[in-house]
Amino acid sequence: MLIEYRVENFRSIAEKTTLSMLTSKERKKAYNLIKVKGIPDITKLLKSCIIYGANASGKTNQIQALDLIKFLVLTSKNLNKGDKIPYFPFVLSAEYEGKPTLFEIDFISGNTEYKYSFSYDANEIISEELSYIKKKGEIFIYKRNRDTLEAFVDEDELLGLFKHTGENVLFLSKANNEYKPFGEVFEWFNINLSYFGRISDIGDKYSIDYMNRSVENKEKVLKILKYADFDISDVSGNVIEMDKSEIPDHIVQFIEKRTGESLSDKEIVGTELKSVHIRDDGKNIINKFEEFESAGTNVFFNMLGIILDTLENHQRILVIDEFDTRLHPDLIMYLLKIFHDENNNIANSQLIVTTHNTRILASDFFRREQIWFTEKDKKNKSTKLYSLFDYEDRVDKSIEKGYFTGRYGGLPDIFDGRI
């Protein structure tokens, strides 16, 4: 589970921002909370958070940071000497030119709370720290300062492994395979942290895979499509694969370097998805899903497999950008209610999304600390991030009305003039 993460000097974010899944002491809306056991000082975490803000205010950058953190942890081990590290500093202030990007993230993997952080520029890892929390406090595993490592456990082994870690490579990424205790931390980034980017870019292969895994899964998908009033009586789909030997070597090498993983013997190259509707004379009409169904229906179906798999099979932090794209507000609320139902979310997964849909605010579904806003600083144009809980003390006000009247910020500052 994610506890919180902090970002500094990344794209539109200049000064450090913090997005937290820690809860307030309010007792209302318990369906939004996850009970946590065995972690010092943390008994509950938020099941989700939702980020609002004007276009170009930094919503996407705030969550994209999680994707870059994951990417560097998984793949920086593949960088050769002299290779550049993906580095996107804040460029609208000379103060930040050449200044390191900093990421800090606190999370629970297994039964342990970990704290991991690193800073870097285009050429080198400047700092890196890994620790875990016990009742007696924070216990460090290692601290790194450029080409120097201070190890607090298994000193000889860690120092020996660090000798083979390049200046542009994260030690966690490099030593994961050789040092078994890193496995639980590495797995959290590899499996638990699931960044899907823009909802409109999510393909149908996830839902096809989920649906084809079992009869029960398919029945669940069809039931939800029925409840969502899509008038679809059946769906069938297949994933088209290609033998690795049929893919040109240079493409294989590029993909493997980009992902940090070896391609399997068969790789997905496409999908075939069909929907069935019943005509007025009782005849089944079969159509290509993508061509016949609406854009919103396609998006809804594509999300189902991701959400249902996230709820059932493995605890994940599901991160989606522009969650409201092409979906009716009632369908968005339907998906949110599915995710937050404890009878569905048996894996205690979490959801982080960006949206412009204010009907969610009007629904009074979320707790105040789940609602976040991004806004551009008027002086240096950098992204500020803050929660409704930090801004508003009263819980009886209309949040949607307050947002539209500018009470919480996060609105575009539009000048209504002639052109």
Q: Which of 356 and 64 is assigned the larger pLDDT?
A: 64
Instruction: Please write the tens of the pLDDT for every residue from 78-88.
Output: 999 999 999 99
Boundaries of every domain in the chain: 1-200+314-419
Residue 76 burial by Cβ neighbours in a 10 Å radius (0-12, 13-18, 19+) = buried
C-alpha–C-alpha distance, residues 32 and 179, integer Å:
37
Q: Buried b vs exposed e over 282-320: b needs ≥16 C-beta within 10 Å?
A: eeeeeeebbeebeeebbbbbbbbbbbbbbbeeebbbbbb
- The DSSP H or E segment spanning 172 is helix 171-175
Q: Enter the CATH code of domain 1-200+314-419.
A: 3.40.50
∠ Cα 323 5 23 (to 5°): 80
Distance of alpha carbon 36 from its chain centroid, rounded?
20
pLDDT over 90, % of the chain? 74
C-alpha–C-alpha distance, residues 333 and 50, integer Å:
12
- The DSSP H or E segment spanning 220 is helix 215-227
CB count, 10 Å around CB of 107?
Answer: 21
Residue 288: per-residue pLDDT: 95
Query: Among 22, 47, 46, 111, which Cα is nearest to 338's?
Result: 47
C-alpha–C-alpha distance, residues 71 and 142, integer Å:
21
Interval 234-240 mean pLDDT: 92
Interval 277-295 mean pLDDT: 94
C-alpha–C-alpha distance, residues 318 and 316, integer Å:
6
Phi then psi for residue 243, to 5 deg, are: -65, 140
* Most trustworthy range by pLDDT among 196-200, 238-242, 248-252, 313-317: 313-317
Query: Among 17, 22, 18, which Cα is nearest to 3's?
Result: 22
Residue 251: per-residue pLDDT: 72
Interval 68-76 mean pLDDT: 97
CB count, 10 Å around CB of 413?
Answer: 11
Is residue 396 pLDDT above 60, yes or no?
Answer: no
C-alpha–C-alpha distance, residues 88 and 10, integer Å:
6
Give residue 31's identity as a one-letter amino acid code.
Y
Residue 292's pLDDT band (cuts 50, 70, 90): very high
Instruction: Please write the tens of the pLDDT for every residue from 88-101.
Output: 999 999 999 889 99
- β-strand partners of 193: 317
Q: What is the pTM of this model?
A: 0.88
Residue 201's pLDDT band (cuts 50, 70, 90): confident
* Residue 322, token pair as written in the block: 């522009």
Residue 401: per-residue pLDDT: 56
Residue 404's pLDDT band (cuts 50, 70, 90): very low
Instruction: Please write the tens of the pLDDT for every residue from 8-39.
Output: 999 999 999 999 999 998 888 999 999 999 99
Instruction: Please write the tens of the pLDDT for every residue from 211-223.
Output: 999 999 999 999 9
Instruction: Please write the tens of the pLDDT for every residue from 110-146.
Output: 899 999 999 999 999 999 999 999 988 999 999 999 9
CB contact at 8 A, 226 and 251: no
State whether residue 364 is helix, strand or coil: coil
Is residue 329 pLDDT above 90, yes or no?
Answer: no
Is residue 416 pLDDT above 70, yes or no?
Answer: no
Q: Residue 320 to residues 52, 123, 232: CA-CA distances in angstroms? A: 13, 30, 26
Residue 153: per-residue pLDDT: 96
Residue 274: per-residue pLDDT: 96
Phi then psi for residue 96, to 5 deg, are: -100, 0
C-alpha–C-alpha distance, residues 294 and 280, integer Å:
20
Residue 312: per-residue pLDDT: 86
Radius of gyration of the chain (CA): 23
Helices and strands counted in the chain (H then E):
13, 18
Q: What is the mean pLDDT of the chain?
A: 89
